[in-house]
């Protein structure tokens, strides 16, 4: 189904997220990070943002990513996600535009990621920070409710299923795939779905 970028959609997503009892994890050995799942207009339809990481990045260069990064000292997840949006794609979003948060997701590379869902009606100033972002892409929200996605894979290194989320003509893996899948399930479908046990491919363990 097509999702229109309007106040009805915003209210529905916000109500579902506010009614969702998110899993907040406390793993002292993991570094805290936050990512922004940013809902934006693309014509009349609602979309979400993904970036391609700059090719010179030290980790996971050139890969699909959500705007985000490690929490600075004294920051909470919402503050970090909004700061990263400003730094990576020049979107200055007020805290009132935050619709809610999803489950913390522990990564194999030592991070505990909190996904923050953001509504961004005005993207006119959006531009990639070339030091971090090669390009910015918007995908229709209905990519998150495709009948052929996600795909779950088995790997010999783990008993947990690896999630692959199909996006356009490409795909993403966890952690990005896990948090986007949960957003589709909780925010768009109203289903209480957990994702912390979904696995990442081995190359993302480093």
7-205, what's its fold? Nucleoside Triphosphate Pyrophosphohydrolase (3.90.79)
β-pair partners for 101 = 116
Neighbouring CB atoms inside 10 A of 37's CB total: 28
**Which pLDDT score, from 0 to 100, does residue 146 have?**
96
Tell me the pLDDT tens digit for each residue of 162-203. Answer: 999 999 999 999 999 999 999 999 999 999 999 999 999 998
Tell me the pLDDT tens digit for each residue of 35-77. Answer: 999 999 999 999 999 999 886 645 544 689 999 999 999 999 9
Measured at the CA of 99, the angle between CA 103 and CA 186, to 5 degrees, comes to: 45
**What is the 3 state secondary structure string of 153-186?**
EEECCEEEEEEEEEECCEEEECCHHHHHHHHHHH
Query: What residues does each domain of the chain span?
Result: 7-205
| Integer Rg of the chain from CA | 16
Confidence of residue 21 (pLDDT cuts 50, 70, 90): very high
pTM (two decimals): 0.94
């Amino acid at each position: 189904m097509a999702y229109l970028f309007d106040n009805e959609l915003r209210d529905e997503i916000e109500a579902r997220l506010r009614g969702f009892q998110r899993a907040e994890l406390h793993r002292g050995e993991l570094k805290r990070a936050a990512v922004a799942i940013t809902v934006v207009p693309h014509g009349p339809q609602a979309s979400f943002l993904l970036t391609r990481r700059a090719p010179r990045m030290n980790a996971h260069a050139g890969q699909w990513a959500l705007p985000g990064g490690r929490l600075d000292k004294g920051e909470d997840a919402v503050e970090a996600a909004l700061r990263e949006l400003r730094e990576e794609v020049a979107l200055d979003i007020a805290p009132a535009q935050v619709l809610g948060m999803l489950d913390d997701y522990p990564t194999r590379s030592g991070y505990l990621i909190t996904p923050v869902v953001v509504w961004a009606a005005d993207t006119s100033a959006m531009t990639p920070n070339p030091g971090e972002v090669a390009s910015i892409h918007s995908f229709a929200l209905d990519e998150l409710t495709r009948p052929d996605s996600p795909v779950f894979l088995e790997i010999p290194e783990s008993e947990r299923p690896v999630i692959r989320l199909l996006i356009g003509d490409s795909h993403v893996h966890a952690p990005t795939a896990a948090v986007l899948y949960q957003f589709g399930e909780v925010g768009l479908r109203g289903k209480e779905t957990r994702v912390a046990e979904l696995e990442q491919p081995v190359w993302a363990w480093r």
